[in-house]
Amino acid sequence: MKRRSFLSGAATLGTVMLAHGANAYLKADLAVAARPVWEAWKAAFLSSEGRVIDTLQQQASHSEGQGYGMFLATVFDDAASFRQMYLWTERHLAVRSDPLLAWRWLPEQANPVPDRNNASDGDLFYAWALVRAAARFSERSYLIRAEAIAEALARTCIVPMPGRSDQTVFLPAAFGFTHDTHLSLNPSYYMPLAMREVAAATGVSAVAACAQHGETLLHEIARNGLVPDWINVSEQGLHAPETLSANAGYEALRVPLFLIWSRVPDHMAVERMAAVYERTVQPGIAVPTVIEPLSGVVLESSTDIGYQALAGLTICSSQRSLGALIPPFSPDQPYYPATLQLFAMIAANETLPQCVPL
């Protein structure tokens, strides 16, 4: 479907798109143009009580998933679903002594929140969703909640970088990642656009500064190869972790997406991943999902189309081509790639309209 005919036929999209596989990637209001995609995602992954279900992880719910779902609800102008997810999250994950969220809720457990530690990326997306919701749904209470989260993140998860007192890093959680000799970081927890929008709306400038420092750190990591899932940072520099994943795997797949979405498509981390995708991705062939960072050897691949969407967006961004090879959305995949596929759609719509599939 050509973009022009797609735009002229947006009113009939709901009866056409899922049945015939037309793409909803366009520079338009996705709340209208891609509503069937959102409804399909909700039907697959959102419970009636507002719980986003990770179907491959013990049917659990995470602060990440709640934040992701709530952000999507703002994009698709779904105030009712947003409120439903917000209330569930506040009831079940806002159980700490500070404004941050416990990272996971397990169904059918006597104690569904056995670990009250937070996940800073989940808190970030939750705050970002609240910031956007405050504006889109004209609800100031959401902004007040976002301010409390931003302040708590700055207080507990943004700390000086070892050996560089003028730079900060974003800890994965308030506890467990600060060691005597180093810090353990997850590079995919940096989402610069989210950090900057949260900082601008709440006035917590430390979050925006950390975003800038994060882009610099990601560039430094990418000098030697792909950005991995985890990395250790010490006064001596950057080191591969011994107990956490040092491969560029399912978590690190988000790094190019988040940088493209944050309007830095020329970042070295994007270029590194684009080179792997350009070498390996072909129609009908599984997409790399776990890669050895230095050699680029593919260790694991997946046929889930959400990962194909990430590859298509990254290649299009790198090649400056017209029309990304992004497949139509399908809910017949796990929660994680399905959600990343929607994020790729939104990133293209917001920042790279030339990568909207033709």
What's the pTM? 0.92
Please compute the mean of the pLDDT values over residues 169-175 and round it to a whole number: 98
Q: Does 47 lie in the same domain as 130? A: yes
Is 115 contained in some domain? yes
Q: Does 136 lie in the same domain as 42? A: yes
Is 85 contained in some domain? yes
Is 58 contained in some domain? yes
Q: Count Cβ atoms within 10 A of the Cβ of residue 219 and give its class: 0-12 exposed, 13-18 middle, 19 or more buried.
A: middle
Is 331 contained in some domain? no
The tens digit of pLDDT for each residue in 177-196 reads 999 999 999 999 999 999 99
Residues 6+ apart with CB under 8 A from 169: 158, 159, 160, 161, 183, 185, 210, 213, 214, 217, 233
Q: How confident is the model at residue 356 (pLDDT cuts 50, 70, 90)?
A: confident
Higher pLDDT, 352 or 251: 251
Is 269 contained in some domain? no
Q: Does 98 lie in the same domain as 68? A: yes
Q: Does 74 lie in the same domain as 125? A: yes
Q: Does 74 lie in the same domain as 7? A: no
Higher pLDDT, 28 or 222: 222
Q: How many domains does the chain have?
A: 2
Q: Does 75 lie in the same domain as 6? A: no
Please compute the mean of the pLDDT values over residues 156-176 and round it to a whole number: 95
Is 22 contained in some domain? yes
Q: How confident is the model at residue 6 (pLDDT cuts 50, 70, 90)?
A: very low
Q: Write down which residue in 110, 140, 170 finishes a domain.
A: 140
Range of the domain at 44: 34-140
Residue 322 has pLDDT above 90, yes or no: no
Residue 141 has pLDDT above 90, yes or no: yes
Q: Does 113 lie in the same domain as 46? A: yes
The tens digit of pLDDT for each residue in 198-220 reads 999 999 999 999 999 999 999 99
Q: Name the DSSP class of 322.
A: S
Is 76 contained in some domain? yes
pLDDT on residue 28: 65
Q: Does 38 lie in the same domain as 20? A: no
How far apart are the C-alpha atoms of 282 and 276, rounded to whole Å? Answer: 12
Q: Write down which residue in 140, 156, 177 finishes a domain.
A: 140
Q: Does 87 lie in the same domain as 104? A: yes
What percent of the chain is predicted at pLDDT more than 70?
92
Residues 6+ apart with CB under 8 A from 177: 171, 183, 184, 185
Q: Count Cβ atoms within 10 A of the Cβ of residue 106 and give its class: 0-12 exposed, 13-18 middle, 19 or more buried.
A: middle
Q: Does 74 lie in the same domain as 12? A: no
pLDDT on residue 27: 53
Q: How confident is the model at residue 358 (pLDDT cuts 50, 70, 90)?
A: low
Asked whether 117 and 123 are in contact (CB, 8 A), the reply is no
Is 6 contained in some domain? yes
The tens digit of pLDDT for each residue in 62-107 reads 999 999 999 999 999 999 999 999 999 999 999 999 999 999 999 9
What is the phi-psi region of residue 331: left when phi exceeds 0, alpha when psi lies from -120 to 50, beta otherwise? alpha
**How confident is the prediction for the chain on average, in pLDDT?**
91
